[in-house]
């Protein structure tokens, strides 16, 4: 290889066309040539937002003396954004060296190409079963207690153990993705979930079932954030809204389908099939994952784990979730178990924040992400909205069963309009988020969801079910708009290496918000039942003893509790209004 006679440096500015939403500014320096095949080697190339996929293309218009000569389409070859850009730069520099000036427009893929579609299908298939397991077992608690001859306080750990394992596993997600790669970890987590499901179905005692549910929870806790990270990386900023719409579908369907499927299985089959049903679907997802998921890249084999941060964050989250569940599960906020859990959680999480700020980028989670406006406002809006909507999803079935006298299966079916509404708007919301950004769509969705919630604040003993079904349908329409937009918001302008940390923190926010919302609304309901129902002790069992005699007072207590759901959801409008206007900051459109 002979040294170049002179160095040629060219700067290419690539601006997104009206149909695209990515801008790449690249600088390439020719450092050497190979005379045998006249190939050019680009020694330096860098990109802004990495918005390329396997099918990225450029349409360069080459001009001499201000007149266009010809227009050519260049396929950007390579597996990484670096390789794709280097291909384009090489061709561009060849042409500019001949005396041409060239302006290149790079069109980032805006639709669901085959690679993104495959990833989305596999991730959604695995995620829906893990999220479904958070609600499908709820209707079988009494059956499990009877079959294992154990108390309700013991058997409830079948649910609590799974939830706590989910919460404790999420914080380590970012590190394992960097250390082992997202595909490897997703397959490992799914295999762990399948093994846990098989063992749960074969459980011979209550302690064994609880232990195997923890195994399930560890696998399930990794699956969702790891899958979300893969989708975010594959989609890029220009398709983030649609990617988040896909990954949000399991979370939207689980609260609706879980109680229904659980009721059918318990009524017509053995409770063991609540766990065995996971195996064929997850096995299919496992086979598809091996073939279809993008291969792992950019592993950090020597990335050290922040053991101190992990020891503070995981138990802190588990303690906080446990305290919230105890406060909302009938024990009350002043019970020793609730106070101990909440106090331990707050202290451990506070210590984690101080430790992480001290370690900076070496921390388990880089809290400097909160300096970014899009991330902070997006996570804040998602937290408040999730607390409101999940509280509503818990209270609405309870109202149907307590005040309406419906069975658990019927109550689950009565929630279905919410899912129908969300399915209608969610696909459209993903596209609109990619085009217009998260702010306007998020605000519109929150307002629509809160309008439906407002109807529940007026319920009485004689409120027609059709009115409540229409209200839930309205909530669903808003929910379908909110989730893709707010889920995509924290990723705005994030470099690729920060996506795992952002995914971990947004999933932690949702997990804590769910427990917080359910605890607050359950506690409010308990206090209102205690104060408003004659002879009641604040529990649903005490209400059931009096039956129809106190139906009006019970409905009034539920109505007052729904006001709290409305208030919490309305506060989400504040951070949503502070979101950046554009879906991708720093994009120059032509």
Residue 10 has a pLDDT of: 37
Residue 222 has a pLDDT of: 83
**pLDDT at residue 446 greater than cutoff 90:** yes
**pLDDT at residue 17 greater than cutoff 60:** no
Q: What is the mean pLDDT of residues 14-43?
A: 33
**pLDDT at residue 112 greater than cutoff 90:** no
For the structural domain made of 365-590, what CATH number should be given?
1.20.1250.20
Residue 11 has a pLDDT of: 35
Q: What percent of the chain has pLDDT over 90?
A: 5
Q: Are 247 and 484 in contact (CB under 8 A)?
A: no
112-305 and 365-590 in the same fold: yes
Tell me the β-bridge partners of 75: 57
Buried-state track 532-554, b at ≥16 Cβ within 10 A, e below 16: bbeebebeeeebeeeeeebbebb
Q: How far is CA 335 from CA 253, 325, 328, in A?
A: 33, 12, 11
Other CB atoms within 10 Å distance of the CB of residue 300 = 13
Residue 571 has a pLDDT of: 93
Residue 94 has a pLDDT of: 42
R_g of the chain, CA atoms, integer Å: 27
Structure tokens belonging to residue 189: 């987590």
What average pLDDT does the chain have? 70
**pLDDT at residue 9 greater than cutoff 60:** no
Q: What is the mean pLDDT of residues 410-420?
A: 78
Chain segment 296-345, per-residue pLDDT in tens: 766 665 567 778 888 888 888 878 877 777 766 555 666 777 788 888 88
Lowest mean pLDDT among 222-226, 300-304, 524-528, 569-573: 300-304
> Hey, where are the domains in the chain?
9-107, 112-305, 365-590
Q: What is the mean pLDDT of residues 82-100?
A: 41
Task: State how far the Cα of 486 lies from the Cα of 498, in Å rounded to an integer.
Answer: 18
Q: When comparing pLDDT for 121 and 349, which is higher?
A: 349
The CATH architecture of the domain made up of 112-305 is: Up-down Bundle (1.20)
Q: Are 395 and 521 in contact (CB under 8 A)?
A: yes
**pLDDT at residue 474 greater than cutoff 50:** yes
**pLDDT at residue 117 greater than cutoff 60:** yes
Of the pLDDT bands very low, low, confident and very high (cuts 50, 70, 90), residue 64 is very low
Tell me the β-bridge partners of 29: 9, 44
Cα-Cα-Cα-Cα dihedral of 156, 162, 165, 169, to 10°?
-160
Residue 35 has a pLDDT of: 34
Of the pLDDT bands very low, low, confident and very high (cuts 50, 70, 90), residue 366 is confident
Q: When comparing pLDDT for 394 and 589, which is higher?
A: 394
Task: State how far the Cα of 412 lies from the Cα of 452, in Å rounded to an integer.
Answer: 18
Chain segment 123-153, per-residue pLDDT in tens: 877 777 777 777 777 667 667 777 777 765 6
Residue 314 has a pLDDT of: 81
């Amino acid at each position: 290889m002979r040294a170049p006679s002179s160095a040629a440096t060219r700067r290419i500015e690539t601006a997104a066309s009206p149909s695209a939403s990515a801008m790449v500014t690249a600088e390439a320096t020719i450092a050497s040539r190979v005379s045998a095949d006249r190939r050019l080697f680009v020694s330096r190339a860098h990109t802004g937002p990495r918005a390329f996929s396997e099918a990225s293309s450029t349409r360069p218009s080459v001009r001499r003396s201000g007149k266009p000569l010809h227009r050519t389409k260049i396929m950007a070859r390579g597996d990484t954004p670096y390789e794709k850009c280097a291909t384009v730069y090489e061709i561009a520099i060849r042409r500019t060296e001949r005396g041409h000036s060239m302006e290149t427009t790079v069109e980032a893929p805006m639709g669901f190409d085959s690679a993104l579609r495959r990833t989305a299908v596999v991730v959604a298939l695995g995620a829906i079963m893990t999220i479904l397991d958070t609600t499908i077992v709820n209707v079988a608690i009494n059956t499990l207690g009877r079959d294992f001859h154990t108390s309700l306080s013991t058997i409830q750990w079948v649910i609590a153990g799974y939830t706590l394992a989910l919460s404790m596993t999420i914080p380590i997600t970012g590190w394992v993705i960097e250390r082992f790669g997202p595909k490897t970890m997703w397959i490992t987590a799914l295999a762990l979930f399948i093994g846990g499901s098989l063992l749960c179905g074969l459980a011979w005692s209550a302690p064994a079932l609880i232990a195997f549910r923890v195994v399930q929870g560890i696998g399930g806790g990794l699956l969702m954030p790891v899958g979300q990270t893969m989708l975010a990386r594959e989609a890029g900023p220009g398709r983030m809204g649609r990617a988040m719409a896909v990954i949000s579908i399991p979370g939207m369907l689980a609260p609706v389908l879980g109680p229904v499927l659980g009721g059918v299985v318990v009524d017509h089959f053995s409770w063991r099939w609540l766990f065995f049903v996971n195996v064929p679907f997850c096995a299919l997802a496992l086979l598809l994952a091996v073939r279809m998921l993008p291969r792992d890249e950019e592993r950090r084999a020597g990335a050290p784990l922040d053991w101190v941060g992990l020891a503070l964050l995981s138990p802190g989250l588990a303690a906080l979730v446990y305290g919230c569940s105890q406060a909302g599960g009938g024990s009350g906020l002043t019970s020793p178990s609730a106070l101990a859990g909440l106090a331990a959680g707050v202290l451990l999480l506070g210590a984690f924040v101080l430790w992480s700020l001290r370690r900076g980028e070496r921390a388990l989670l880089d809290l400097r992400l909160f300096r970014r406006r899009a991330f902070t406002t997006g996570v804040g809006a998602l937290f408040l909205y999730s607390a409101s909507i999940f509280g509503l999803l818990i209270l609405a079935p309870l109202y149907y069963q307590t005040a309406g006298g419906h069975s658990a299966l019927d109550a689950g079916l009565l929630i279905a309009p919410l899912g129908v509404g969300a399915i209608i708007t969610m696909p459209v919301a993903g596209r609109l988020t990619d085009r217009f950004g998260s702010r306007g769509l998020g605000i519109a969705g929150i307002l629509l969801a809160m309008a439906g919630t407002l109807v529940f604040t007026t319920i009485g003993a004689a409120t027609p079910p059709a009115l409540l079904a229409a209200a839930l349908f309205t909530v669903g329409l808003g929910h379908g708009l909110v989730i893709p937009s707010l889920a995509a918001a924290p990723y705005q302008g994030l470099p690729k290496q920060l996506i795992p940390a952002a995914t971990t923190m947004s999933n932690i926010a949702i997990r804590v918000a769910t427990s917080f919302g359910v605890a607050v609304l359950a506690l409010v309901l308990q206090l209102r039942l205690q104060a408003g129902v004659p002879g009641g002790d604040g529990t649903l069992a005490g209400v059931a003893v009096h039956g129809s005699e106190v139906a009006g007072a019970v409905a009034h207590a539920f109505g007052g509790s729904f006001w709290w759901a409305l208030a919490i959801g309305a506060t989400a409008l504040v951070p949503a209004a502070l979101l950046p206007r554009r879906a991708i900051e720093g994009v120059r459109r032509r």
